[in-house]
Structure 1
Amino acid sequence: MENQALALAAAVGLPHTVKRVYPRPPWTWLPPGWWPWPLKALDGDSDGIAAPWPDLLITCGRRAVPYALLVKRASGGATTIVHIQNPQTRIDAFDLVAPPRHDRLHGPNVIETEASLHGVTAGRLAREAEAFAGQLAHLPRPLVAVLIGGSNSCYRLTPEIIATLAEQLRGLCLDHGVGLAVTPSRRTGAENIRALRQALSDLPAVVWDFQGDNPYFGYLGLADSLIVTCDSVNMVTEACATGKPVHVVHLAGGNRKFNEFHANMQAAGYTRPFQGRLEQWHYQPADDTARVAARIHDLLTAKGKSSS
């Protein structure tokens, strides 16, 4: 969530300060719009929330909502309040709300996003690609980046799914001569990673071992095609910011919001299901971040605040 707020702040282009809040129970048990004395909820690791109030406040996540509402009141409405995702309270309390489409929020101050906000730009991809090019120089082309998440509250990455994926990846290498750059996550699980590493050990493949700098964005920049598991909206969104074909591996599980997200991304032409083969197609890279930033500039200008 913090990365989404930082990406939007960078796109707006104004100097900014990061404030992190860590509220405690019993406040966290309450709906975010109904916290009495929210400053008393902060633990000792939280950053202070005090005047002078900023021209713009960007928040993300339900636990930041009470502090957005506090600043709105304390500033007398002078601070423009922007919340990313569903605030789970009255949306008219904010100047702008930027939820993903699958949250189904509507209103004059709502700007829907196709996916999550991100900080992936052509410049960043080029820099990261240059930094990691040497590590993958021995792999053949086309190069396929494989981004693997793992089990969470909605999905399960089972040994059976990993075995199927490994066999499909072997087929791509043996039948089509591709190189593989694989980046698992902590959620992938040690056993799944071991099984994948063993299955690819005799092939032109690199599986990141969590040592050194994270190559995630480098792989995005270097790859010709992408394969990504379905369990992370952010990961799929960042893959779709490259403009490269994004093949989605569907895991066991899911829920309404995830299902709608994937249906929307596929209908918009960003993604296709991974069925063991690579396809080629073209689309305009996903960039809701710039669109939301432009709306913020309009709000600041309307309030007589400098947005440059």
Structure 2
Amino acid sequence: MTLPPSPPAGRPLTIWAVSDGRAGIEAQVVGLANALARQRPAQVVVKRIAWKSWFGRLPWWLVPFPHRLLTDKGDVAPPWPDIWVAAGRATLPLSIRMRRWSGRKTYVVQIQDPRMPTRLFDLVIPPRHDRLEGENVFPITGSPGRVNAERMAQDLARFRGELDALPRPRVAVIVGGKSKAHDLSPERAAAMARDIEVPVAQDGGSVMVSFTRRTPERAKAILEARLKTLPGVIWNGEGDNPYFAYLAAADYILVTEDSTNLATDAASTGKPVFVMKMDGDSLKLRLFHEDLERLGAARPFGGAFHSWTYEPLAETERAAAEVLRRYDAGKA
């Protein structure tokens, strides 16, 4: 990947990473903003916007005066950033006005398909499986993420005392949960636990288990009860999050099929990624998993582990390079 040239020496860029604070959405804007800062001197500011009452649930065209409807938590005021990176429906009333508010000085990047005219933004970065096209559209496989070699190495060093003694192969088990399209029933959780237990025990390996906020409590309890019989660690949600350390220490990575973020993070490691079946179905996510399979990054989990190699997914860095290329072109 060829990085865009650096501009003449001067002040660092100011980049706002804007979302409503939900973990999966914030991970995307922060991931892209940090990738921009790795390629160009920049200050990244995380903004979590919140709307008064029920206004945040309205369609974007029914929020005519968004500044008046933000709570104090919003903190959206000048001086405006050089680059605005946003994601999620809650940010749309602000994103579509940012160019006007800033006198066209702020470059507006919207992650995901905004489901509105893309001409209202400088650049839209949707997942490829959304099949959105346009002159100012730059599709990527999956979603921007926070995984990079430096971050994984740093987190692995912090958790070495807990992970170094685990027998290999080490299997990272990253479990999502309930979404619009998927769920994780107790029955599915029990079957999932059995499918993991058998090959790990046969191979003499260990597990490193992490749940998300969306994991149903009953499913989580079943998986914890079954998998704690294996060598390994299960993060209980307290203290520092070992998520990146688990990815760094793993020989194999298991992710549930409900999340673009989890699979993208896993595929960014270059390690074999296995996708676990859940209750429900999603055409878009099936297309995404097919993309990962074509790239050689992921395969369906069939109750056994095997190794292969592929080029780690680097879509976040590629998207950041494109943002800076277009930003520079607009300033020329």
State the TM-score, normalized to the length of structure 1. Answer: 0.92
| 1:19 paired to 2:43 | no
Deviation per residue, 1:164-195 (Å, 9 max, x gap): 22222221233211111111234323332332
Assess if the C-alpha contact under 8 Å between 1:132 and 1:218 holds in 2.
yes
Q: Which residue of 2 aligns with 1:8?
A: 32
CA distance in 1, matches of 2:46, 2:217: 34
Q: By how many angstroms is 1:253 displaced?
A: 0.4
Assess if the C-alpha contact under 8 Å between 1:7 and 1:119 holds in 2.
yes
Q: Which residue of 2 aligns with 1:174?
A: 201
The alignment's C-alpha RMSD in Å is 1.8
Deviation per residue, 1:36-94 (Å, 9 max, x gap): 11212212322132x33332211111221211222211223222111111122210111
| 1:64 paired to 2:91 | yes
Q: Which residue of 2 aligns with 1:199?
A: 226
Assess if the C-alpha contact under 8 Å between 1:173 and 1:204 holds in 2.
no
CA distance in 2, matches of 1:97, 1:286: 20
5+ residue gaps, structure 1: none
Letter in 2 for 1:206: V
| 1:130 paired to 2:157 | yes
Q: Which residue of 1 aligns with 2:239?
A: 212
CA distance in 1, matches of 2:91, 2:127: 18
Q: Which residue of 2 aligns with 1:42?
A: 70
CA distance in 1, matches of 2:114, 2:215: 30
Judge which range, 94-103 or 145-154, deviates more.
Answer: 145-154
Deviation per residue, 1:91-118 (Å, 9 max, x gap): 0111111010122210011000100101
Assess if the C-alpha contact under 8 Å between 1:33 and 1:65 holds in 2.
no
Assess if the C-alpha contact under 8 Å between 2:228 and 2:234 holds in 1.
no
Deviation per residue, 1:228-273 (Å, 9 max, x gap): 1111111111111110000010101022222222222222221100
CA distance in 2, matches of 1:85, 1:151: 20
- Structure 1 ranges of 4+ moved more than 4 A: none
Q: Which residue of 2 aligns with 1:164?
A: 191
State the TM-score, normalized to the length of structure 2. Answer: 0.86
Number of equivalenced pairs = 304
Deviation per residue, 1:105-145 (Å, 9 max, x gap): 10011000100101211111111112112112332111111
Q: By how many angstroms is 1:34 displaced?
A: 4.8
Using a 3 Å threshold, how does the CA distance of structure 1 residues 208 and 109 change in structure 2: closer, same or farther? Answer: same
CA distance in 2, matches of 1:152, 1:240: 21
CA distance in 2, matches of 1:189, 1:31: 29
Equivalent of residue 83 in structure 1, options 110, 117, 122: 110
CA distance in 2, matches of 1:47, 1:242: 35
Equivalent position SS for 2:192: helix
Using a 3 Å threshold, how does the CA distance of structure 1 residues 142 and 29 change in structure 2: closer, same or farther? Answer: closer
Q: Which residue of 2 aligns with 1:141?
A: 168
CA distance in 1, matches of 2:271, 2:170: 12
Letter in 1 for 2:121: F
Deviation per residue, 1:168-224 (Å, 9 max, x gap): 222123321111111123432333233223323433132222232111111001011
Assess if the C-alpha contact under 8 Å between 2:83 and 2:106 holds in 1.
yes
CA distance in 2, matches of 1:43, 1:273: 44
Using a 3 Å threshold, how does the CA distance of structure 1 residues 177 and 59 change in structure 2: closer, same or farther? Answer: same
Letter in 1 for 2:26: E
Equivalent of residue 28 in structure 1, options 27, 32, 56: 56
Q: Which residue of 1 aligns with 2:4?
A: none
